[in-house]
Structure 1
Amino acid sequence: MGNGFAFETSWGTRYDAAGTRFRLWAPHARRVALVHEGVGQRSQLPMAKGEGGWWEIVTTHVPVGAGYGFRVDDGDIVPDPAARAQLSDVHGLSRLVDPRAYNWRTTEWQGRPWHECVFYELHTGTFSPQGSFDGIVEKLEHLQATGITAIELLPVAQFGGRRGWGYDGVLLYCPHEIYGGAEGLKRLVDAAHERGLMVFLDVVYNHFGPDGNYIPSYLPDFFHAEVSTAWGPAIAYGETPVRDFMIENALYWLEEYRIDGLRLDAIDSIKDTTDTPLVKELAQRVRARFPDRHVHITTEDDRNITWHIERNEDGSIPLVSGEWNDDFHHTAHVLATNEREGYYRDFDPATAEQMATALAGGFVYQGLESSHRSRKVGHSSTHLPPTAFVNFIQNHDQIGNRAFGDRLRTLSSARAHDCLHAILLLSPQIPLIFQGDEFGDCHSFCFFTDFHGELGLAVSKGRKEEFSHFAAFEDSRAQAVFPDPNDPMTFEASKVDWSQVIRPVNRRRLQVTQELLQARRDHLVPLLAGAPGECGSALVDGRAFVVAWKLAPGRVYHLFANLSDASWEIEDGVLSPAVAGAREVFSNHIYTFEELGTGVMSGYSVSFVMADDYLVEVFKDD
């Protein structure tokens, strides 16, 4: 017996050598049986129906490692929807495990404060040559030396097939066997904690995937027949067992796997018809369960709402730690590429005003009219501290949901990209980079799946149709080389090429990333724990701007940036940094800080400066 943690769920199993409990909610079923593997055959045990539509049995007939499933009303055998492991794929039997068997080495780990987060988003199957949790372990020292403090895993809950992004998961309690399963994920978390790294997990509570989701076949109550999403009927969060299934899933990852935080995918697509939003109740229960650990929640939501990321009067976090800020990404992308398709039409490449707005006060769209969506979008966010937002210049979505999986570095000039990389890593928002960004990986990351038959054909066809009106297909020959999601080569081509790290240009890019994150640790992080709202001010002149954040009394942090080719003659009462006694934190050219003293910035220059007061006279009146 190890020292593992076992989280008790309403659904599924609770292992005990004296008798394992198996449980399933099926209120309208007439009969439910536990099917399990015997010696050379499968056996069946009737389950008893209790209050609230719960079926249960306690038995010693299923040993650890054996397969089991449920048969509802004499139908097909289905896996446990709350299975911790599978014998094989999503279509087979679940596997009984003892969560306590793992021997943790880092039981004293209490996590790290939110303001220390530097996220590194990665996909388990493409991050390492092995495509596994153990493959990630081999790269942890590289990430630690880079200055990363938190790895964020794309969803790992078991989905149909061997390849996929993970957002089509159907067994939400089961780490995918192809990645190393439950044991492999625990080894990864343990190894990360030994190196002072947090582990976050992306979780999907807005839909189930299309391959291997057996729940509708025996439990239609789990879904809303009258409420739809882009993926089909919405999950019925008005049903207490359904609500508990998801909230307990969050608690399960945080407790049984010692995960440090969760990223809740697309919460705008959670169609919750109850008076209390699922996200609110989930966050409250997480905070209540882990009062003595640093446990964090982030969200993705294109509505630019703020109620879930508000702070208490003392600055503490009652619900969600940070919101992914798509607005920052969109304005950065447009400034770097001049693209105006899709949602980029809401962003202007001629001026840096929107970027300065995002850096100074959160969202760009804070109740403004969106031409892309033909309505007003967003709520005021300037009252929130910068750390309420997670910024990025690319992520899995923004790369993989391009027709050819292009990275920003291949779409923009190197000078523009390097400026944006510095702005991302040294601004007081929480930064996130995607796998390989630290050394300037230019390889594509595409959308890939492992579907077959009619589903596979539909996904391949739908993907082409989705991009048919984009500029990437203005040349009809592009269709011939469009990456088919179901082609194994699309997956292989999306893997990180670690041989690049030894090349001089990539080694230099890694050096710069390390320098930026060292500067963040030394100069910025000590000020972020108490960073207030309403602390940012901005001055914009075309594609050049200054943003100043008053992070503490007598500590004003400045970003001077020129994202154009032409030199910028700084006016409007900017003081000389040399005269004001300012200290350089980082500049992307050795002469930039000295130039600032003369009131000039060369093209594509960035400089971060710490001072005792504002270096821009007009900010002093704010």
Structure 2
Amino acid sequence: MDHPASARRDHDHGRPGVFARDLPFGAACHDAGVTFRFWAPKVESVDLVIKGSAPVPMATGADGWREATVPGAGAGLRYAYRLPDGREVPDPVSRFQPDDVHGRSEVIDPRRFAWAHPDWKGRPWEECVIYELHVGAFTPEGTFQAVRGKLDHLASLGVTAIQLMPIADFPGRRNWGYDGVLPFAPDSAYGRPEDLKALIDDAHGRGLMVFLDVVYNHFGPDGNYLPLYAPVFTDRHRTPWGGGVDFDGPQSRPVRDLVIENALYWLQEYRFDGLRLDAVHAIMDDSGNHLLRELAERVHAETRGRSVHLILENEENEPELLLRGEDERPLLYTAQWNDDVHHVLHTAVTGEAAGYYADYAGDAARLARAIAEGFAFQGEVMPYRGSARGGSTAQLPPTAFVSFIQNHDQVGNRAFGDRITASARAEAVRAAAAVSLLSPQIPMLFMGEEWASESPFPFFCEFGPELAEAVRTGRRAEFARFPEFQDEAARERIPDPTAEATFLSAKLDWDALREPAHAAWRDWYARILAVRRSAVVPRLATIRRGGTARRLGAAALSVRWDFQGGGGLTLLANLSDARVAALGAPLCEPIWTEGEVSVDALGPWSVGWWVEAG
């Protein structure tokens, strides 16, 4: 059974404002009924099971493909696949699971949703201000519909792109999203597929892009039926979650197609404007064409005419994935989350030096390099890691990096999920935020950051008793090496990630915005983002390479980024309690100052930004 990639395209089925993608597998609606395709080379036979009907034996094709057509069937049909041992499993490419990951799949006809803004083409990358949010914790209701109700708040703040943490169907009603097992199905805890499309459509109507966090390095442990019928995993590669996904073995073509089609599915059928690929360093592929390269090339080829952005999380800091062509457009990936910038700013602001922060704390050279060039480590050995990391960023523009002072990992990986404002003074946090938000790197906020939310964001999930106990024990064991958690009683204070109360504590308290102190934070963020929009964004495309940094003190520096054609963007920053000499500033008015900034000196926690026209 052959399903050539060239035959699968995004199309509108002759109706304007309707988008659907013909997948090579799963349930496909057409005028005569529904055709089901399922890859199960490890079993001898498969039956299609539909409630109220006799099982339908599926025809066997080449390479383990199975197919069956049900005449007259349509959207809403509940189905599963029955294996020879009698076990029923959901469709691995189910578009919706109304009864969670162990239940039957529901046939969805994507042609039924008519988009109100079908001509939306996205926005240039230089205009990006990203806002990362978790659908379940962003609002009290925790749904796609509830996020729609907050779009005006985000648009007025100055955000231009929303990034949803993973929404692929996961077990239970609460999860960070990185334990998903059905990558094509939006989790039913958040709403139905049409609710997600309505959210994206409304966002586009307000000029907001929507990105999605996707996980291709592993599948979650609960509800993962793939090993029963398909060779999806291999022991040739090992990841933190066990055997690697088989992207390079003799039967890996359908597995590669599953991931690539998933990326295209979200971008075309749901009209997402970009994807953030989680932990790509754990995607193992020794073939001659790495999955990451093939995926990016397919996305670029099949989304021409739109501004679609691909973002990486990559512990290895591989600059070759971020290279630009002669026209300065990304050859593969648009940008990478820049943990190095977070780490240098966090250690400066909080004074923390435990764990991986030890490689950044008190290092003025790393601080200057991360802000000016992107990666703080460019091939040098990291003592905490025990190996070399990164490569030269000399050929990359600053927009190849996403800068932030908070995200779900850097907050949630703390024992109590506390935010930076819980451990640092307000003036210090504002100084770090001013560096990030006006930097030529692309800024990202974590939900609630704009009003200094006091809601923590601890790790949370919901599993059955046995797996829940393993997660609970493992979470506390992670912190056993930290001095403050050497004592078992101290570790017992770490929130139970499987408890509902832990999840509820992560929900944002929107009533806090009525309080003057929190409202003042929100106004500060709106003002600085307005400055970015008017003074920095129009010039970002003319900054082709990293900046030139000069250290002014232990945690003070100046950085200049040159514009093509003359002029430049200059930063003076003092991220310390000491007063330092500024050693001169540009001969023009600053676009932003935070704290005491003058030509001669910088007061404690002071930041100044200047734009010099060419």
- TM-score, with length taken from structure 2: 0.95
**Contact 1:21–1:57, Cα closer than 8 Å, also in 2:** yes
Equivalent residue, structure 1, for 2:591: 585
1:114 to 113, 119, 125: 125
**Contact 1:272–1:278, Cα closer than 8 Å, also in 2:** yes
Equivalent residue, structure 2, for 1:620: none
Equivalent residue, structure 2, for 1:320: 333
1:289-300 aligned at under 5 Å gives the runs 289-300=302-313
1:3 Cα offset (Å): 4.2
**Contact 2:174–2:462, Cα closer than 8 Å, also in 1:** yes
1:389 Cα offset (Å): 0.4
Equivalent residue, structure 2, for 1:607: 608
1:405-458 Cα offsets, whole Å, 9 max, x none, are 011111112111110011110000001110000111122100001112210111
2:506 to 487, 494, 505: 494
**Contact 1:17–1:60, Cα closer than 8 Å, also in 2:** no
Equivalent residue, structure 1, for 2:3: none
1:148-192 Cα offsets, whole Å, 9 max, x none, are 000000000000000000000000000001101211110110010
2:352 to 324, 332, 339: 339
1:588 Cα offset (Å): 1.4
Equivalent residue, structure 2, for 1:134: 145
Equivalent residue, structure 2, for 1:43: 54
**Contact 2:547–2:559, Cα closer than 8 Å, also in 1:** no
Residue 145 (structure 1) aligned with residue 159 (structure 2): no
Number of aligned residues: 597
Equivalent residue, structure 2, for 1:34: 48
Task: Give the whole-Å Cα distance in 1 for the aligned partners of 2:194 and 2:69.
Answer: 25
Q: Secondary structure at the match of 2:469?
A: helix
1:46 Cα offset (Å): 0.7
Residue 95 (structure 1) aligned with residue 112 (structure 2): no
**Contact 2:552–2:580, Cα closer than 8 Å, also in 1:** no
**Contact 1:14–1:20, Cα closer than 8 Å, also in 2:** yes
1:561-605 Cα offsets, whole Å, 9 max, x none, are 11122211233xx3x54xx2x13110114x52xx22xx1111111
Structure 1 residues 210 and 333 mapped into 2: Cα distance closer, same or farther (>3 Å)? same
Q: Secondary structure at the match of 1:173?
A: strand
2:240 to 217, 230, 243: 230
Residue 280 (structure 1) aligned with residue 299 (structure 2): no
Equivalent residue, structure 2, for 1:619: none
Equivalent residue, structure 2, for 1:14: 28
1:533-558 Cα offsets, whole Å, 9 max, x none, are 24444344221110111123222111
**Contact 1:2–1:100, Cα closer than 8 Å, also in 2:** no
1:424-463 aligned at under 5 Å gives the runs 424-463=436-475
Task: Give the whole-Å Cα distance in 2 for the aligned partners of 1:354 and 1:485.
Answer: 34
Equivalent residue, structure 1, for 2:274: 261
Task: Give the whole-Å Cα distance in 1 for the aligned partners of 2:177 and 2:16.
Answer: 30
Seq. identity, %: 44
**Contact 1:352–1:540, Cα closer than 8 Å, also in 2:** no
1:304 to 301, 312, 317: 317
1:362 Cα offset (Å): 1.1
Q: Secondary structure at the match of 1:302?
A: coil
Task: Give the whole-Å Cα distance in 2 for the aligned partners of 1:563 and 1:539.
Answer: 12
1:190-209 Cα offsets, whole Å, 9 max, x none, are 01001000000000000000
Task: Give the whole-Å Cα distance in 2 for the aligned partners of 1:431 and 1:551.
Answer: 19
**Contact 1:3–1:100, Cα closer than 8 Å, also in 2:** no
Equivalent residue, structure 2, for 1:204: 215
Give 2:590's aligned amino acid: E
Q: Secondary structure at the match of 2:450?
A: helix
**Contact 1:557–1:608, Cα closer than 8 Å, also in 2:** yes
1:475 Cα offset (Å): 5.6
Task: Give the whole-Å Cα distance in 2 for the aligned partners of 1:185 and 1:335.
Answer: 39
Q: Secondary structure at the match of 1:185?
A: helix
1:241 Cα offset (Å): 0.5
Equivalent residue, structure 2, for 1:473: 485
Give 2:392's aligned amino acid: S
Task: Give the whole-Å Cα distance in 2 for the aligned partners of 1:303 and 1:377.
Answer: 6
Indicate the RMSD between aligned Cα atoms, in angstroms.
Answer: 1.5
1:611 Cα offset (Å): 1.9
Equivalent residue, structure 1, for 2:6: none
1:570 to 579, 582, 601: 582
1:508-547 aligned at under 5 Å gives the runs 508-547=520-559
Q: Secondary structure at the match of 2:30?
A: coil
Unaligned runs of 5+ in 1: 614-622
Residue 507 (structure 1) aligned with residue 519 (structure 2): yes
Provide runs of 4+ in structure 1 moved above 6 Å.
none
Moved more, 298-307 or 44-53: 44-53
1:91 Cα offset (Å): 0.4
Give 2:540's aligned amino acid: L
Equivalent residue, structure 2, for 1:161: 172
Equivalent residue, structure 1, for 2:10: none
Give 2:413's aligned amino acid: N
Task: Give the whole-Å Cα distance in 2 for the aligned partners of 1:4 and 1:418.
Answer: 44
**Contact 1:369–1:377, Cα closer than 8 Å, also in 2:** yes
Task: Give the whole-Å Cα distance in 2 for the aligned partners of 1:368 and 1:480.
Answer: 38
Equivalent residue, structure 1, for 2:8: none
Task: Give the whole-Å Cα distance in 1 for the aligned partners of 2:436 and 2:606.
Answer: 14
Q: Secondary structure at the match of 1:64?
A: coil
1:351-362 aligned at under 5 Å gives the runs 351-362=363-374
Give 1:63's aligned amino acid: G
Residue 241 (structure 1) aligned with residue 254 (structure 2): yes
Unaligned runs of 5+ in 2: 1-14
Equivalent residue, structure 1, for 2:12: none
**Contact 1:223–1:236, Cα closer than 8 Å, also in 2:** yes
**Contact 2:78–2:104, Cα closer than 8 Å, also in 1:** yes
